Chains A and B, each alone.
Chain A
Amino acid sequence: MEMAPRVDEVKTYPVLDPARALTEPRWVRWVLIAVALSFIALFLLVPLAQVFASALDKGMGYYFNAVREPAALSAVKLTLVAAFFSVVFNSAFGLASAWAITKFRFPGKSLLITLIDLPFTVSPVVSGLIYVLLFGLQGLLGPWLKAHNLHIIFALPGIVLATVFVTFPFISRELIPLMQEQGSEEEEAAMVLGAGGRQIFWKVTLPNIQWGLLYGVILCNARAMGEFGAVSVVSGHIRGLTNTLPLHVEILYNEYDFTAAFAVASLLTFLAVLTLIAKTLVGLKYEKSRQTPAAQAESGIA
């Protein structure tokens, strides 16, 4: 015989506030937020403020002189040239490698994917040394280069090469997962509609990856401008000739010209802040363009 459950035996559960069901007690939240914020203030904001404070230590006049000095201007120019080349080379390489990896099957594909990451895992100093060992006077190709009066190490080509090397993965790393996710259906559709390879690239593929590409370019550019280790090894620190901004800062600092060092550093910092803003803006666009079609449909219909 079955018995109806007695009312006083029915278990009741405490009622949970749904808004608080998955959150920590208030004091834990406040402590976590405080720790995170003070950490950021201490390690990011204070040094950032210090850079500008020290730069303006001896007044605006000194600041502008330090920044306008020929050696500083040449460093700015060299930094921009190196960043420009690495962005151009790595955009081309990033597109080509991402295209090859996501659209074709070929032997050695996984090796290529691993190799792309190499510059991330190798110390920048070693990256610089590679080029010294290759192109330096004692290096593999050094004698031949000297015989033909070609300068790579301690000259612009070496700096560009080292910068390109350390920024190698940024764009392809950004594009490969993006293009993998998008698949080739749109390209196939374009092909059946009669588009040629170039038309498919410019009208279908590029518009689909433009934000990812731009995001990669910004990261690549930021790293290229700030690169110190690899460039330091190949540059030779010739003032006004082979000094990039980070190297110039170091030299000024080593000469105890702290205010000038910070003034030039503030230029780099300024570039970094600009990059950060650009990155955030592009990142927002990028996220939007990456939304799944289903999610887009829902937001579109609603």
Chain B
Amino acid sequence: MSIEVRGLCKHYNGFKAVHNVSAKLETGSLTALLGPSGSGKSTLLRMIAGLEVPDSGEIHLTGREATFASAKERNVGFVFQHYALFKHMTVFENIAFGLRVRKQGERGIQDRVFELLKLIQLTGYEKRYPSQLSGGQRQRVAVARALAPRPEVLLLDEPFGALDAKVREELREWILRLHEETNMTTLFVTHDQQEAMEVAGRILIMNHGEIEQDGTPIEIFDQPATHFIAQFVGESNFIDTEVSEKGLAVWGPFRFSVAPSLPVGKKIRIYFRPNDVYMTAQFETLQVRARIAKTRFKGTTIEYKLDIGEDKYISAQIPKGVALASGFKEGGEVYAAITAFHVFPIDAEG
């Protein structure tokens, strides 16, 4: 089943929670809705589920208009951040709930629940209460409960947000496998970019109630569409400068080619990733001399704060092996070049 929203708006007392959002998710896709808290991603998800009513705009499920359809008619599965399991029901009854309210036969319910218990690897736990399960187990039960009535769409609202890092990792893998098996149209909300990149084939990035970019993880990472995305996704260096002559901007000893369409004197922001800094101990080519001001160990990489003179600094990240082989030391002299960067004109608002 496909999901399509057109010009969806939801305002609360003048606050634009969701503003003019349009998107289409194809059948069988796995999409992440990524954004900082308060960006409207949960509100959008809740509108698709029928938990909130939009002020304007349309929601289409499988090409059918469902803007004001009841949650029952939509046939979506929804997983909450804090599980929202029924505390007073056993695992079995939790999973069976969606089948019981649809008045299904007891035999069918039994079969379906045990099938799902097997899927979530909790066979034998059916008589437990939610309070007797760990966080990861509870979230798996919540997913099973959502899947029980065979929804056509699975919506997950920060499904791993309340779990610790290790369990989160496992559940991510599990959701990926689940999606491969069921091929159900899945949309999940997260504020964790790592999670979005790893799990989803496509990412919608929301900010201030609007979708700022819609693309594959690689597109989002390598070609951020806006300032916001450049600073929100991954780590970045930012340089505020202006176009010094046609097609060129200068910042300290660095020279950046910019679009010739930008007028001279136009204020611009240039960003580049710390791992797009090419750093060597000996001068090779087109590099700038710098001094290592600070070293920070980051696990697989080492981050260097480089002093390039004129009280200007950039940060560079070098794989640990390369860094150790090159013998970089705090206070030592190195040569650096910026191999990839993006330029955004600064508007009045920016």
How many residues on the A side are at the interface (Cβ–Cβ under 8 A)? 24
- Complex CA–CA separation, A189 to B72 (angstroms): 11
Looking at the assembled complex, report how far the CB atom of B22 sits from the nearest CB atom of chain A, in whole angstroms: 23
Q: Would you call A16 an interface residue if the criterion is a C-beta within 8 Å of the partner chain's C-beta atoms?
A: no
Q: Would you call B344 an interface residue if the criterion is a C-beta within 8 Å of the partner chain's C-beta atoms?
A: no
- Complex CA–CA separation, A162 to B77 (angstroms): 50
Question: Which chain A residues border B148 with CB–CB below 8 Å?
Answer: 193
Is A193 a contact of B145 with CB atoms below 8 Å? yes
23 A-B pairs with CB atoms under 8 Å apart are A185-B82, A185-B84, A186-B87, A188-B84, A189-B78, A189-B80, A189-B85, A190-B86, A190-B101, A191-B71, A192-B71, A193-B146, A194-B72, A194-B149, A195-B101, A196-B72, A203-B86, A203-B97, A207-B88, A296-B131, A296-B132, A297-B134, A301-B132
Q: Would you call B76 an interface residue if the criterion is a C-beta within 8 Å of the partner chain's C-beta atoms?
A: yes
Query: For residues 63 through 90 of chain B, which have their beta carbon under 8 Å from a beta carbon of chain A?
Result: 71-72, 76-78, 80, 82, 84-88
- B106-124 contact mask (Cβ, 8 Å, vs A): 1 or 0: 0000000000000000000
Q: Would you call B50 an interface residue if the criterion is a C-beta within 8 Å of the partner chain's C-beta atoms?
A: yes
Closest A residue by C-beta to B101: A195
Question: Which chain B residues border A195 with CB–CB below 8 Å?
Answer: 72, 97, 101
Looking at the assembled complex, report how far the CB atom of A35 sits from the nearest CB atom of chain B, in whole angstroms: 41
Question: Which chain B residues border A108 with CB–CB below 8 Å?
Answer: none
Question: Which chain A residues border B78 with CB–CB below 8 Å?
Answer: 188-189, 192
User: Which of B71, B102, B132, B146: most chain A CB closer than 10 A?
Assistant: B71
Question: Which chain B residues border A194 with CB–CB below 8 Å?
Answer: 71-72, 98, 101-102, 149
A185-B82, A192-B49, A194-B102 as given contacts; A301 in contact with B72, CB under 8 Å: no
Query: For residues 135 through 151 of chain B, which have their beta carbon under 8 Å from a beta carbon of chain A?
Result: 135, 145-146, 148-149
- A189-224 contact mask (Cβ, 8 Å, vs B): 1 or 0: 111111110010001100110000000000000000
Question: Which chain B residues border A185 with CB–CB below 8 Å?
Answer: 80, 82, 84
Is B98 a contact of A193 with CB atoms below 8 Å? yes
Question: Which chain A residues border B76 with CB–CB below 8 Å?
Answer: 192
Q: Which residues of B contact A (CB under 8 A)?
A: 49-51, 71-72, 76-78, 80, 82, 84-88, 97-98, 101-102, 129-135, 145-146, 148-149
Is A192 a contact of B77 with CB atoms below 8 Å? yes
Is B80 a contact of A208 with CB atoms below 8 Å? no
Is A297 a contact of B133 with CB atoms below 8 Å? yes
A188-B84, A192-B50 as given contacts; A300 in contact with B132, CB under 8 Å: yes
Is B87 a contact of A293 with CB atoms below 8 Å? yes
Question: Which chain A residues border B77 with CB–CB below 8 Å?
Answer: 192
Closest A residue by C-beta to B142: A189
Question: Which chain B residues border A289 with CB–CB below 8 Å?
Answer: 87-88
Looking at the assembled complex, report how far the CB atom of A192 sits from the nearest CB atom of chain B, in whole angstroms: 4
Question: Which chain A residues border B71 with CB–CB below 8 Å?
Answer: 191-194
- Complex CA–CA separation, A270 to B209 (angstroms): 63
Is B131 a contact of A188 with CB atoms below 8 Å? no
Looking at the assembled complex, report how far the CB atom of B80 sits from the nearest CB atom of chain A, in whole angstroms: 6
- Complex CA–CA separation, A186 to B85 (angstroms): 7
- Complex CA–CA separation, A220 to B102 (angstroms): 38
Question: Which chain B residues border A207 with CB–CB below 8 Å?
Answer: 86, 88
Question: Which chain B residues border A296 with CB–CB below 8 Å?
Answer: 131-132
- Say which residue of A188, A291, A300 sits within 8 Å of B80 (CB atoms): A188
Looking at the assembled complex, report how far the CB atom of A201 sits from the nearest CB atom of chain B, in whole angstroms: 12
Closest B residue by C-beta to A300: B132
Question: Which chain B residues border A196 with CB–CB below 8 Å?
Answer: 72, 101
Known: A204-B86, A297-B135. 13 other contacts (CB 8 A): A185-B82, A188-B51, A188-B84, A190-B97, A192-B76, A192-B78, A194-B98, A194-B149, A203-B97, A293-B130, A296-B131, A297-B133, A301-B134
Is A189 a contact of B84 with CB atoms below 8 Å? yes
Looking at the assembled complex, report how far the CB atom of A283 sits from the nearest CB atom of chain B, in whole angstroms: 18
User: Which of B78, B80, B86, B129: most chain A CB closer than 10 A?
Assistant: B86
User: Which of A289, A293, A299: most chain B CB closer than 10 A?
Assistant: A293
Question: Which chain B residues border A193 with CB–CB below 8 Å?
Answer: 71, 97-98, 101, 145-146, 148-149
- Complex CA–CA separation, A293 to B87 (angstroms): 8
Looking at the assembled complex, report how far the CB atom of A296 sits from the nearest CB atom of chain B, in whole angstroms: 3
Question: Which chain A residues border B97 with CB–CB below 8 Å?
Answer: 190, 193, 195, 203
- Complex CA–CA separation, A189 to B131 (angstroms): 17
Question: Which chain A residues border B72 with CB–CB below 8 Å?
Answer: 194-196
User: Which of B51, B85, B97, B130: most chain A CB closer than 10 A?
Assistant: B97
The 4 closest A-B pairs by CB, nearest first: A296-B131, A193-B98, A300-B132, A185-B84
